[in-house]
Amino acid sequence: MKADVCTARGRPREFCPDAALASALRVFWSKGYEGASMTDLTEAMGITRPSLYAAFGNKESLFRKALDLYEREKLDYISTALDEPTARAVAEALLRGALENQMAQDEPHGCLGVISSVACGAEAESIRAEVLERGKTAKSALIARFERAKAEGDIPAHVDVEGLTGYLFAIIQGMAVQAGAGVSREDLERLIETSLMVWPSN
């Protein structure tokens, strides 16, 4: 049980797992879980099938690791947005952060979470459940933030906070749908401007 921690025995691997995982993330991001075949993945990652299975388990395990990477590196704008001083600033940071995430150059358009929660087949059911679970925690955090804003008088008293959160989530998810559908960045910026224009204030 007490294994030497510094010795790497056996033949060393010839690829970087982090870089390979990043490539896999791009494939899942653009094609979805079921739409990404093992051939797509291995070709993008530059490794053979057995290497992939040895390093990442199976397809589902690889997807979860890619989802972790996605949350850590691409969805960090969400937690930073919650630190904005006003509810309006939180909403603006979320909308603009989502735009950058969904329309980044050299990255697939759209949102991996939305793609994975919409698609489809039977094998992806546990994947879907996990993605939905992660989305729920994000929504809870946003509700808590807006509750605080309401207590601070930052949101009008007559506003339903949970309704407002679901409303803002819907705009972001709708943006993801449109980004994946090929809508231009300029159009999404106008969408955001409109959202901010109608944002409830005192």
| Contact flag: residue 127 with DNA (CB under 7 A) | no
| Contact flag: residue 49 with its own copies (CB under 8 A) | no
Neighbours of 175 (CB within 10 A): 25
| Contact flag: residue 50 with DNA (CB under 7 A) | yes
Q: Of these partners, its own copies, DNA, none, which one is at the site of residue 85 (CB under 5 to 8 Å by kind)?
A: none
In one-letter notation, the amino acid at residue 124 is A
Residue 73, burial from CB neighbour count under 10 angstroms (0-12, 13-18, 19+):
exposed
Q: Of these partners, DNA, its own copies, none, which one is at the site of residue 58 (CB under 5 to 8 Å by kind)?
A: DNA
| Contact flag: residue 135 with its own copies (CB under 8 A) | yes
Segment contacting its own copies by CB under 8 A, of 7-15, 66-74, 121-129, 147-155: 121-129
| Contact flag: residue 167 with its own copies (CB under 8 A) | yes
Q: Which of 1, 5, 9, 186 binds DNA (CB under 7 A)?
A: 9
Residue 36, burial from CB neighbour count under 10 angstroms (0-12, 13-18, 19+):
buried
Neighbours of 43 (CB within 10 A): 12
- Size of interface with its own copies, in residues (CB under 8 A): 48
| Contact flag: residue 174 with its own copies (CB under 8 A) | yes
CA–CA gap between residue 175 and residue 171 (Å, rounded): 6
Q: Which of 26, 31, 148, 150 binds its own copies (CB under 8 A)?
A: 31
Q: Where are the alpha helices (DSSP H) in the chain?
A: 17-35, 38-45, 49-56, 59-74, 76-81, 87-102, 112-118, 125-151, 161-180, 185-197
Q: Rule CB under 7 A: which residues touch DNA?
A: 4, 7-15, 34, 36-40, 47-51, 53-55, 58-60
